[in-house]
Structure 1
Amino acid sequence: MSRTTLSTRARWLWGIGAALAVSAVVGGALVFQPWLLFIDVRVDDEIPAAVATATPEPTPAASASVEPAEQITPAPPAGPVDLLTGSFISHEHTTSGSVRVIENPDGTRQLALVGLETSNGPDVHVWLSAGPVVEGTDGWFTAAGYEHIDLGPIKGNIGDQLYDIPADVDLTVFRTVDLWCVQFSVSFGAAALS
């Protein structure tokens, strides 16, 4: 074989290797999206303020002819009511803020993320999970092993956000909020609802 043939073959192999390396870097960047770590998305949804619920006291005019149940039936709330609350703990990414499950006067429910701060990432969703909140690295993967309700992609990694909760969701079962990265099957942070 001539030196020219080896030189041509080496350049050809070097070109293929370089093209494969560039493809791998571009593919890795598209999958991992490292630039998201340097981009914050701030959300400022208007979170309704909760009103205190008060049980009306029976009126002095109430007599034995009035049913006791009628005397203590609470009036419907005049505004939104907090059903459940909690605070985020960090999992794979530092996460802070609080959560509220709000019931509106019309009976609809919403999940509020209040003062959320976490890392931005690819394909992060807001889940209501039936699993427990586990601290430390053991908690990073807990939510995937339990039934969950996906409320949709996270709107942003900083700020106040509202998500509608479907009417058929049983909040006695789904007592955890999880910021779940679907692409990498890992929790950014979670909050227990109580």
Structure 2
Amino acid sequence: MSRSSRRTVLPVLLVLTVVAGVGLFYFQPWKAFTDTTVDEALPGVSASAPSGEPAVKHTAGMNGGEPPARDTGPVDLAEGRFVSHEHDTSGTARTVRLADGSQVLRIEDLKSSQGPDVRVYLSTRDPAAVEGGLGDGDVALGKLKGNLGNQNYAVPAGTDLSRFRSAVIWCERFAVSFGAAGLAPVKG
């Protein structure tokens, strides 16, 4: 190889190496071949209480001989099924008020793709409109914990959940929705 050829090849190889490194960092292609499963229980639900039954608060001696008080337990506020946008996404989303008054977004049976910077949001837009962006007044709940399974996201205190129309799996890096679930009020 001539001396002038080396002068050309070395800078080209250096540029290609830098471009490849930036591309790997930015796109993280290995995430297309990996899954992360999360299986969290709903916070504040007693493992010993039968499904669908509120847990019993043991208050012996405090009620003047009355039977133990029933804990009101979690209350579903809204729920919906995920629809796919940029990636196949399925599962359900529920907003839940816990017995202590705090609120969570619960995602169940999630099946989606991994991504380089995927987060969970509440949006004031309906699921179809979210494909064009989150809109004004969205609330970020954190990084997606896993692309498969059941997971909980704390809703900031004071958030009026009745304002939100969808839960969204959103890729920050590429500003796209993987999928969204409409949040329809639960009839009680």
Per the shorter chain, which TM-score range? Answer: 0.7 to 0.9
Q: Where does residue 164 of structure 2 map in the other structure?
A: 174
8 Å Cα contact 2:93-2:106 kept in structure 1 = yes
Match of 1:24 among 19, 25, 29: 19
1:152 to partner: Cα distance: 0.5
1:51 to partner: Cα distance: 5.1
Q: Deviations over 1:114-173 (max 9, x none)?
A: 000100001111001111210xxx753331x33210000010100000011112111121
SS in 2 for 1:43: strand
Relative distance call for 1:46 and 1:34 in structure 2 (3 A) is same
SS in 2 for 1:24: helix
Match of 1:147 among 127, 137, 145: 137
Number of paired residues?
163
Relative distance call for 1:182 and 1:90 in structure 2 (3 A) is same
* Alignment gaps of 5+ in structure 2: 46-50, 55-68
Alignment of 1:1-194 (within 5 A): 7-47=2-42, 48=45, 78-134=72-128, 139-143=130-134, 145-194=135-184
Q: Distance in 2 between matches of 1:110 and 1:173?
A: 15
Moved more, 33-42 or 18-27: 18-27
Q: Distance in 1 between matches of 2:35 and 2:145?
A: 11
Q: Distance in 1 between matches of 2:150 and 2:141?
A: 15
SS in 2 for 1:83: strand
Runs of 4 or more, structure 1, over 6 Å off, are: none
Q: Distance in 1 between matches of 2:95 and 2:125?
A: 17
Q: Deviations over 1:15-64 (max 9, x none)?
A: 11011112111210110001001110000101246558xxxxxxxxxxxx
- Structure showing the higher helix proportion among its residues: 1
8 Å Cα contact 1:51-1:81 kept in structure 2 = no
Structure 1-normalised TM-score?
0.78
CA RMSD between the two structures: 2.0
- Given residue 26 of structure 1, which amino acid in structure 2 is its aligned partner? G
8 Å Cα contact 2:133-2:175 kept in structure 1 = no
User: Which of 1 and 2 has greater Rg?
Assistant: 1
* Alignment gaps of 5+ in structure 1: 53-74
SS in 2 for 1:142: coil
Give percent identity, aligned residues only. 39
Structure 2-normalised TM-score?
0.80
